[in-house]
Structure 1
Amino acid sequence: MADLFDTPHATPDKPAGPRPLADRLRPRALGDVIGQEQVLGPDAPLGIMLASGSLSSLVLWGPPGVGKTTIARLLADQTSLAFVQISAIFTGVPDLKKVFEGARLRRANGQGTLLFVDEIHRFNKAQQDSFLPHMEDGTIILVGATTENPSFELNAALLSRAQVLVLNRLTLADLERLAQRAEQELGRRMPLDGPARDALLDMADGDGRALLNLIEQVMAWRVTQALTTDDLTRRLMKRAVRYDKSGDEHYNLISALHKSVRGSDPDAALYWYNRMLLGGEDPRYLARRILRMAVEDIGLADPQAQTICLHAWETYERLGSPEGELALSQALVYLALAPKSNAGYVAYKAAKDAARQSGSAAPPKHILNAPTRLMREQGYGEGYAYDHDAEDAFSGQNYFPDGMKRGVYYLPVDRGFERDLKKRVDFFAGLRAKRQARTGDD
């Protein structure tokens, strides 16, 4: 496909002015949008909609600077719809009523309205519900833009009436083509050597708008020779890593961290750990999650893992940053390389389900205490076998409610310390079978 931003030319009725570079290079046709072939291609959702002449309401989900607003505007142009843009940050209920009324008047005059709602996830449930009747009767084609996961942020009723399209962050190749288009517009190349040019593209972090803003800064410098990477980093602050501690990116990264540990990959675990720290994540949150990993994924295959995680957390509390973060990173490495078992976790959930299903079934009377005469008369404690007095200190009695089939929940794996526990489980299971057979013979 062509480059992200086409180059508009000055005309007598629209002379070129001192506009920002991002505005000057804004695409004028959908074919000029770069990096979103998965939604704009001939066989992709928007390509098919436009070819059939039937545009439905949409939610564009993607990171900043990938063309959500531009795509919405160009969709309106290509379908001859009136383009109305609002932001959920600055729009209240009275404003929405005016927008809907204007759309009704246009419809009465034979023109439809494409209503573009930026940051649509910031509208509350009632505000989101207000769009529904106007979408259903065709008054508006809604195109919402969001950087947050629509599954969590948008009402099910609204999602059922709109198709969600995922836009991707721009690749380095996409950004390079965008940089070339900017240089063509400005009539000269950036004063950067090869590595510095690559560093500039990295700074944009997949955001086309951010790249154009960086290019404008670089082009404004008065230099006599190509700048190196060191020159560039001294002159420019690296763009902050995109990370929302309460949003979708937060959950994506913690999922990546957890699964890297579960997958025994210490290098990947350290990478995602540092991505979260650089994004401003609270190390205490990470300490809690690291301890959770020890409980869920290491379990009794290495009982020492929990202790190491607790000590790392305590070390962070005593030392603070950055030394305390090193202790947490070492705990991560230990977990990633430790033997893995979720047998205890699975057993806990299975026993919990059995407890829920059995309701209020009472324990068998032979394991109940009998501190009063009445309780003894009721049979409490009668027939209880004191395990310390039994052979192998194991009586093999039943400890489940009478009439309930014995459950088997804990199935240790043949890894780490659980290998020893498995031997013990098998040993007691064998003794229990012998005791029950002996009782049956009697």
Structure 2
Amino acid sequence: MTDLFEASGIHPPDAPLADRLRPRTLEEVVGQDHLLGAGGPIRRMVEAGRLGSMILWGPPGTGKTTIARLLAQAAGYQFQQISAVFSGVADLKKAFEAARMRRAAGQSTLLFVDEIHRFNRAQQDGFLPFVEEGIVTLVGATTENPSFELNGALLSRSQVYVLKRLDDAALDQLLIRAEAQEGGTLPLTPEARQALAALADGDGRYLLTMAEVLFDLTSTEPLDVQALAGILQKRAPAYDKSREEHYNLISALHKSVRGSDPDAALYWLARMLNGGEDPLYLARRIVRMAVEDIGEADPLSLLVANAAKDTYDFLGSPEGEL
């Protein structure tokens, strides 16, 4: 049930900064111009006034929920949201029945399913007849690769749109809006402001959460990078050893080596190690890179990579990591 604040589009004064700055139109969404800008596929749907079912795939804090809500608003659909984390079969039945009643009254329904990949295969199959009949327009949000986590039948009835991590320009735009909202500038040096954006790692919600902490400071002197790190501490890197982020990072490491970019390669290597990846797995992948990506350009690379793998395999941690 929506309250008066939600119905009016006005957030209560004690709401988090990220909620108070939530875009009210699709034009205010930052960082996703490839989908929402002129000629973008989602923009064309809105201009045609007819939405198709879609899966929004992207990392946290890139605007998946906001885009779904604004799509319903722009196209004149009734927005209904459920979460795969908290919802079961009974909740789905209620949602579909409500959508069926709206359709009989001439009202279309956009059903937004957050974390849709958490529904099992049988539950995902339950969406199919209602999507096919047009009772709901399904918009699912996921941080996992839909090809791995969603049924082929459901994917065949939906368009998959990839949301990008917010770049520096988009993050800076969010900080400018936050400063306008709070009526003051962030107490940061230019270098610390860049460090703040780097710490967010493309996550707009996290950036605004950190900014809200900084606005509450009483310090009048701008914080440098070291002082900023002392206040915000260190963010746990987004990484898992068996799911989407695992494959993203090992792919980035491969591409960095293939592109002869040692700084980037060291960054991705350190990020995986810091995230808890098995060093022996990385050593094996580096041997593979020495064969496939370097090859005869530097024959010694294979000897060095094999020696590193054998050394770690023999000594283990922590000696083998030195």
Name the TM-score, length of structure 1 as normaliser. 0.66
Deviation at 1:155, TM superposition (A): 1.4
Deviation at 1:190, TM superposition (A): 1.2
Task: Summarize the alignment of residues 56-67 of structure 1 with structure 2, pairs less than 5 Å apart.
Answer: 56-67=52-63
1:93 partner amino acid? V
State whether residues 204 and 210 of structure 1, in contact with CA within 8 Å, keep that contact through their aligned partners in structure 2.
Answer: yes
In structure 2, do the counterparts of structure 1 residues 173 and 15 end up closer, same or farther at CA, with 3 Å as the change threshold?
closer
Aligned to 2:180: 184
Task: Summarize the alignment of residues 302-381 of structure 1 with structure 2, pairs less than 5 Å apart.
Answer: 308-317=304-313, 318-321=315-318, 324-326=320-322
Distance 2:161 2:82 in 1: 20
Give ranges in structure 1 of 5+ residues lacking alignment.
Answer: 1-8, 327-442
- Does residue 151 of the first structure (1) align with residue 169 of the second (2)? no
State whether residues 80 and 111 of structure 2, in contact with CA within 8 Å, keep that contact through their aligned partners in structure 1.
Answer: yes
State whether residues 178 and 208 of structure 1, in contact with CA within 8 Å, keep that contact through their aligned partners in structure 2.
Answer: yes
1:325 partner amino acid? E
Q: Deviation digits for residues 62-85 of structure 1, max 9, x if unmatched?
A: 111011100000111112211111
Deviation at 1:38, TM superposition (A): 0.7
Residue 129 of structure 2, aligned match among 128, 133, 153: 133
Residue 75 of structure 2, aligned match among 66, 69, 79: 79
Distance 1:302 1:188 in 2: 55
- Does residue 68 of the first structure (1) align with residue 64 of the second (2)? yes
Task: Summarize the alignment of residues 33-432 of structure 1 with structure 2, pairs less than 5 Å apart.
Answer: 33-261=29-257, 266-294=262-290, 308-317=304-313, 318-321=315-318, 324-326=320-322
2:128 partner amino acid? L
Distance 2:150 2:37 in 1: 27
3-state SS of paired residue (2:222): coil
3-state SS of paired residue (2:282): helix
Q: Deviation digits for residues 231-284 of structure 1, max 9, x if unmatched?
A: 111111232222232222221222232344456655543333223223332212
Name the TM-score, length of structure 2 as normaliser. 0.89
In structure 2, do the counterparts of structure 1 residues 202 and 256 end up closer, same or farther at CA, with 3 Å as the change threshold?
closer
Identity over aligned pairs, percent: 61
Distance 1:108 1:175 in 2: 43
3-state SS of paired residue (2:237): coil
State whether residues 196 and 229 of structure 1, in contact with CA within 8 Å, keep that contact through their aligned partners in structure 2.
Answer: yes
3-state SS of paired residue (1:56): coil
Give ranges in structure 2 of 5+ residues lacking alignment.
Answer: none
Q: Deviation digits for residues 132-188 of structure 1, max 9, x if unmatched?
A: 110010110000111112122211111111111111111111111111111111111
1:257 partner amino acid? L
What is the root-mean-square deviation of aligned Cα atoms in Å?
Answer: 2.6
In structure 2, do the counterparts of structure 1 residues 197 and 308 end up closer, same or farther at CA, with 3 Å as the change threshold?
closer
Aligned to 1:349: none
Deviation at 1:35, TM superposition (A): 1.2
2:39 partner amino acid? D
3-state SS of paired residue (1:74): helix
In structure 2, do the counterparts of structure 1 residues 126 and 188 end up closer, same or farther at CA, with 3 Å as the change threshold?
same
In structure 2, do the counterparts of structure 1 residues 226 and 311 end up closer, same or farther at CA, with 3 Å as the change threshold?
same
2:134 partner amino acid? G
Distance 2:260 2:142 in 1: 34
1:320 partner amino acid? S
State whether residues 245 and 280 of structure 1, in contact with CA within 8 Å, keep that contact through their aligned partners in structure 2.
Answer: yes
3-state SS of paired residue (1:85): strand
3-state SS of paired residue (1:65): coil
In structure 2, do the counterparts of structure 1 residues 264 and 13 end up closer, same or farther at CA, with 3 Å as the change threshold?
closer
In structure 2, do the counterparts of structure 1 residues 229 and 300 end up closer, same or farther at CA, with 3 Å as the change threshold?
closer
Q: Deviation digits for residues 274-307 of structure 1, max 9, x if unmatched?
A: 2322333221221232344456567799887666
In structure 2, do the counterparts of structure 1 residues 87 and 14 end up closer, same or farther at CA, with 3 Å as the change threshold?
closer
Distance 2:294 2:270 in 1: 22
1:23 partner amino acid? D
State whether residues 86 and 117 of structure 1, in contact with CA within 8 Å, keep that contact through their aligned partners in structure 2.
Answer: yes
Distance 1:229 1:44 in 2: 38
State whether residues 205 and 241 of structure 1, in contact with CA within 8 Å, keep that contact through their aligned partners in structure 2.
Answer: no
Q: Which has the larger radius of gyration?
A: 1
1:162 partner amino acid? S
3-state SS of paired residue (1:59): strand
State whether residues 190 and 219 of structure 1, in contact with CA within 8 Å, keep that contact through their aligned partners in structure 2.
Answer: yes
Count of matched residue positions in the alignment of Structure 1 and Structure 2:
315
1:86 partner amino acid? I
Distance 2:146 2:155 in 1: 8
